[in-house]
A and B are shown apart, each in its own frame.
Chain A
């Protein structure tokens, strides 16, 4: 069946395909190699994509047009703070409708029941702000509960969170946890999920945040959300606000710039981009070597036949065509199972790590392109062997 399709496409016998198909052991080895390389590449990209996307969960969820940040900002995880006065300075811009300070810190928690530990990102927000703080409607609806002292809401997608805690909050409406030796009443939940650095998030009021982090001051927020009047040009206003802040310790940027800055930091300053990029390259090389091995052996085994074909008038290009036909067949045959297995492995790894490992649109096309390059490159190296097919050697 495939043979007939190929005859129609190539207008000649698909020798490469017939050769591959004739030696099933070799075919399976080669396809297995390509599949294996594909799975490795998909997994590396999956983890990398998940880490990049989780690193900006908090950022994306903020309901804002602009943000004020300390001017040395690289990443929220390492963010310092800036003087609250800057917010008032920024508010003097006519396009600014409102501004809300946000405080961010990390707290390490040990579950007294199971002994499990978790690292939480804590967001201190003004619970009575008339402006929306979060895009997530569930969180926004829970915020009024934080007006009472020592209340908190918990990300129930926190990595390996004891399900009893979730159950207690959802059923009884409250669950008490000790953070930094202080009793907190968890009265609400939301779902977000952890990132590379944090297992999950907790949201509290500004007052509760100050009690939790003794060394932090209300006068030094980590960032501020700035809502603009409808129809304002965010980029232009950001530039104008920056002109209003001559001290140089604070910077205004659009929400998208804020997200991009974080992702750039993750890609360039952390080992994530390098580690997974390196993994992709290694997987590529493994696939390249396997396909090259198979194609070279195949050419080697058929040198006498090729020499015969040469003797009856076939050109060098014809033999290159055979090798590329094989390379292409292997790319396609190896990619399809690689993609299918990877989709299953994504689901599995996603459950195991709590990271949102998803098959992003465009990634299969990218990996298939890599596979094609891998196979064609192997084929290109393997065709060197064809020069050894000399019809004079047949005698």
Chain B
């Protein structure tokens, strides 16, 4: 178990469309990311980085080749296996994707509820703690509409971290934030990931945050050009 890498792809290809409009977006990718690494995936639009992220993030079915996550094969896995695997992952999206009918606290609790542990005073304390870590201890009962963009993204970070994920996936988490706020959010992710030995796999265009990465992967036209 300790020997298996966090993410491993072998000969991974992916197509969109069918027939004449069929388009290959990933070409025979071989990739290995050991546990605990902070990896940034870069590349121009259309280079296939988001497709790669959704494939290794259990959000899209593997068509060709192999994806192993924490030692488990995703190719040909059924919906239930994918769902159980997703519970071991954390996700931060470009947009915060918070539920507008839930308070900051309740949104974070959704990350615990999925494990059946969102109930009771312990859960409450854990959520409070994570929200304090992201600097929102005073705003736990605010609804998303009462929070600023940066605050919302920090709630999303808290939600992704509350379940203690083995791997944290992030898709342009700083895109909607100004420089300073972006910096803060990335530092936060970096720090929390370090403490918990979480693997981070992040897609970004943002050159300001490259310094935080252990490793930078560049993609172009569906191929890894530099790693």
Contact = CB atoms under 8 A, between A and B. Distances in A.
Interface of A: 7, 11-13, 15, 18-19, 21-23, 302, 304-305, 307-316, 391-392, 394-395
8 contacts: A13-B102, A22-B143, A302-B99, A304-B95, A308-B97, A312-B159, A315-B83, A316-B79
Contacts of A22: 100-101, 143
B123 to A, nearest CB: 10
Contacts of A15: 99, 101-102
Tell me which of A7, A21, A312 has the highest count of chain B C-beta atoms within 10 A of its own C-beta.
Answer: A312
Given A12-B119, A13-B113, A22-B100, A312 B59 contact: no
A311 B86 contact: yes
Nearest to B163: A312
Interface string B50-89: 1001100101100000000000000000010001111101
Interface of B: 50, 53-54, 57, 59-60, 79, 83-87, 89-91, 93-95, 97-102, 106, 109-111, 113-114, 116, 118-119, 143, 159-160, 163, 171
A309 B101 CA distance: 14
Given A15-B102, A309-B110, A311-B57, A304 B118 contact: no
A312 B93 contact: no
Given A11-B119, A18-B101, A18-B102, A311 B59 contact: yes
A389 to B, nearest CB: 12
Contact of B171 (A18, A316, A395): A395
A311 B111 CA distance: 11
Contact of A394 (B89, B97, B100, B114): B97
Given A13-B109, A394-B97, A395-B50, A313 B102 contact: no
Contacts of A7: 119
B83 A313 contact: yes
A231 B110 CA distance: 71
B54 A312 contact: no
Given A12-B119, A313-B83, A315-B83, A392 B54 contact: yes
Contacts of A311: 57, 59, 86, 91
Nearest to A3: B106
A305 B91 CA distance: 13
Nearest to B93: A394
B56 to A, nearest CB: 13
A312 B50 CA distance: 17
Contacts of B106: 13, 18
Contacts of B79: 316
Nearest to B86: A313
A297 B181 CA distance: 35
Contacts of A394: 59, 93, 97
Given A15-B102, A19-B101, A395 B53 contact: yes
B218 to A, nearest CB: 19
B62 to A, nearest CB: 12
Tell me which of B90, B106, B110, B171 has the highest count of chain A C-beta atoms within 10 A of its own C-beta.
Answer: B110
B57 A313 contact: no
A266 to B, nearest CB: 50
Contacts of A313: 83-87, 89, 114
A391 B113 CA distance: 19
A21 B106 CA distance: 14
B65 to A, nearest CB: 18
Contacts of A11: 116, 119
Nearest to B102: A18
Tell me which of A13, A305, A316, A392 has the highest count of chain B C-beta atoms within 10 A of its own C-beta.
Answer: A13
Contacts of A18: 101-102, 106
A12 B118 contact: yes
Given A395-B50, A395-B171, A12 B60 contact: no
A207 B118 CA distance: 85
Contact of A305 (B84, B99, B119, B160): B99
Contacts of B101: 15, 18-19, 21-23
Contact of A314 (B97, B109, B114, B159): B114
B94 A395 contact: yes
Contacts of B90: 312
Nearest first, the 9 A-B pairs at minimum CB distance are A313-B87, A22-B101, A313-B86, A308-B97, A391-B59, A305-B99, A19-B101, A18-B101, A313-B114
A12 B113 contact: yes
A310 B54 CA distance: 13
A11 B87 CA distance: 18
A22 to B, nearest CB: 4
Given A13-B109, A22-B101, A312 B118 contact: no
Contacts of A395: 50, 53-54, 93-94, 171
A315 B82 CA distance: 10
A94 B51 CA distance: 96
Given A15-B102, A302-B99, A312 B110 contact: yes
A312 B91 contact: yes
A23 B145 CA distance: 13
Given A11-B116, A18-B101, 8 more contacts: A13-B102, A13-B109, A15-B99, A15-B102, A304-B95, A311-B91, A392-B59, A392-B60
A12 B120 CA distance: 10
A304 B113 contact: no
Contacts of B98: 305
A305 B101 CA distance: 10
Nearest to B171: A395
A312 B87 contact: yes
Contacts of A21: 101
